[in-house]
Amino acid sequence: MFESTGEDQRFPSVAEFYNGKNIFLTGATGFVGTAILETLLRCFPGIKSIYILLRSKKNVNPEIRKEQIFSKKIFEKLKEETPEYLEKVRLIAGDISLPNLGMNEDDVQLLIQEVSIVFHCAAVISFTKPLEFILQNNVLSLSSVLELSKKMKKIEAFVYTSTIYSNSNHLNLPLKEEIIRLPFPADKFIDALKKGDSAMLQELVAYCKPDWPNTYTFSKCLAENVIMDNMLEIPVAIIRPSIVIFTWKQPMPGYVEENSGICALSIGAGKGFIKVFQADPNNRLNMVPVDITANTHVLAAWSVGTKRCASPFVINCTANENLHVKFREFTDMMTQMTLRFPFPKSFEQLSIPIIVTNKYLYYILSAYYHYLPAIVLDGMLRILGKKPRLYSLYRFFDTTMSCLKFFMFTSFEYERKNFEYLGTLIQPEDRKDLSLDFSDVTLSEKSLSVPEGSPFYDWKKDRKSQSERQRIAQNRHRLIKAIQWMFLMTFCLLIYWVFSRIFL
């Protein structure tokens, strides 16, 4: 996949490559997409325009959603130092799930005439949605972006955000930096999708073996095959991040969004809501900072756009051993961080999460620690005329965890030669802002920056002081313990009564 002549002076620097360029970005509201947008604006003042595709969502129009992007904490430094850079971001109203991305003809022609670099990050990241829905949003949408990109008169690079788990069905092999081909051309799947032929689609998927752990990972593998079949004439890079976590350095250490992947589980445990996990405590999780992920995208476009790397350039954006940690180490680290920096809006006093491997033991402990208090507290909320929600939240958590179970019990090894090679291409003047060398980062060290960098640690949003919140969490903890002890006493009395009837 490497293509270098050794005459590096012939190639433009990263800044020179982006100078005067117009960029098209999908998925700008997502965690990775937002980080890419911020990186482009901060590092490359010579960029002419960045077009972002946004749709209306929950009665919020695209213009408001654009403002919501720039209200994120990750843009604070940019707004303070160079607010004029934000004016380079231009809104394109559309929807990736619609034909032609839901854009009007004027916007289509604008992109065709002006855009040189495409970053396609938009995707539905769900392990529970049905196959057709996932493929509609993650594969047909990609096909639409590819067709648009092939019409662009100035196109130089196309960068697609995949996942390290796109080939996670191959359990016994290291996940290599290559596209594993499906038994049928990708167009067969797309034709079945467009025709709404569910039976044909299911039949095609059934022939693809071994089975993928969920529809999302299969959709990413199929998407990579779509690129392989349709983008031979355009320089392409495929980025496969592992578990994306908080920023390492830029624009601030510790920034992460509340709903981003494993962060949501960490917050749930840190707030005292989640007390039991079903997982292998020794299973290793590979985590990569979001600013490293954004840097990889930006550098990959430059590397294939300048022909420094051959297309398609597949990059496993993963970490070395320092961020390839056991699940128990991760939960212990998050517990220590939360004890030192308690979460705003905590549900209950923090306790060390229980990790069990046996599903029946998990059912018992989950019933005792999660559902028993939830049923009683929901009943109290009903009496007070408030909406019960704890039981439904635990049901949602269990549904999510059942989808994550495969990853909680399966460790992977990753090839990262292309990732390391990309790091060697960075010129000295670019290393400060675009470095890919985070080999000295440790999770325990960098987690201490999360309270300062992350928006969900803002105590102003709690409306209660830290001491008041701590008192509420302690009182709720006492109430839940009382509920659990009353249940145990009642259960023991019931067992005693049964045995006394039988044996006495």
Q: What is the pLDDT of residue 42?
A: 92
DSSP states along 42-92: HH-TT--EEEEEE--BTTB-HHHHHHHHHTSGGGHHHHHH-GGGGGGEEEE
Strands 313-317 and 354-356: unpaired
Instruction: Please tell me what DSSP assigns to residue 440.
Output: T
The answer to whether 331 and 269 are in contact (CB under 8 A) is yes
The answer to whether 481 and 369 are in contact (CB under 8 A) is no
Per residue of the chain (504 residues), what is the pLDDT tens digit?
555 444 445 678 888 899 999 999 999 999 999 999 999 999 999 999 999 999 888 788 888 888 888 888 899 888 888 888 888 999 999 998 888 899 999 999 999 999 999 999 988 888 778 888 889 899 999 999 999 999 999 999 999 999 999 988 887 778 889 998 988 888 888 888 888 888 888 888 888 888 888 889 999 999 999 999 887 788 999 999 998 988 888 888 888 887 777 788 888 888 888 899 999 999 998 899 999 999 999 999 999 999 888 889 999 999 888 888 898 988 888 888 888 888 888 888 888 889 999 999 999 999 999 999 889 888 988 888 888 888 998 898 888 888 888 888 988 888 999 999 998 888 887 778 888 888 888 887 777 788 788 887 877 787 778 888 888 888 888 888 888 898 888 888 888 787 777 765
Nearest-angstrom CA–CA distance, 212 and 226: 17
| Cα separation values, 169 from 211, 213, 221, 339, 413, Å | 6, 7, 10, 38, 13
| Cα separation values, 432 from 294, 436, 448, Å | 14, 10, 22
Q: Helices 198-206 and 186-195 meet at what angle, rounded to 10?
A: 150
Q: Helices 215-230 and 186-195 meet at what angle, rounded to 10?
A: 110
Task: Enumerate long-range contacts of 394-401, CB under 8 Å, 24 or more apart.
Answer: 394/366, 394/370, 397/268, 397/274, 397/370, 398/366, 399/128, 400/127, 400/128, 401/277, 401/278
Contact partners, residue 44, CB within 8 Å, separation at least 6: 14, 15, 18, 19
Reply yes or no: is the peptide bond before residue 174 cis, omega within 30 of 0: no
Q: What is the pLDDT of residue 494?
A: 85
Helix (H, G, I), strand (E, B), or coil: what is residue 457? helix
Over 92-136, what HEC string results? EECCCCCHHHHCCHHHHHHHHHHCCEEEECCCCCCCCCCHHHHHH
Helix (H, G, I), strand (E, B), or coil: what is residue 237? strand
Q: What is the pLDDT of residue 7?
A: 44
Instruction: Please tell me what DSSP assigns to residue 260.
Output: S
Query: For residue range 383-428, what is the model confidence (pLDDT) as tens digits?
Result: 888 888 889 988 988 888 888 888 889 888 889 999 999 988 888 8
**315 bridge partner residues:** 239
Nearest to 338 by CA among 118, 37, 330: 330
Q: 192: part of which helix (H) or strand (E)?
A: helix 186-195
Nearest-angstrom CA–CA distance, 467 and 486: 29
Q: Which residue has the tokens 């089975």?
A: 211
Nearest-angstrom CA–CA distance, 125 and 220: 10
Query: Which tokens go with 16?
Result: 């020179």
- Buried-state track 327-351, b at ≥16 Cβ within 10 A, e below 16: bbebbbbbbebbeeebbbebbbbbe
Angle CA(165)–CA(169)–CA(174) in degrees, nearest 5?
Answer: 70
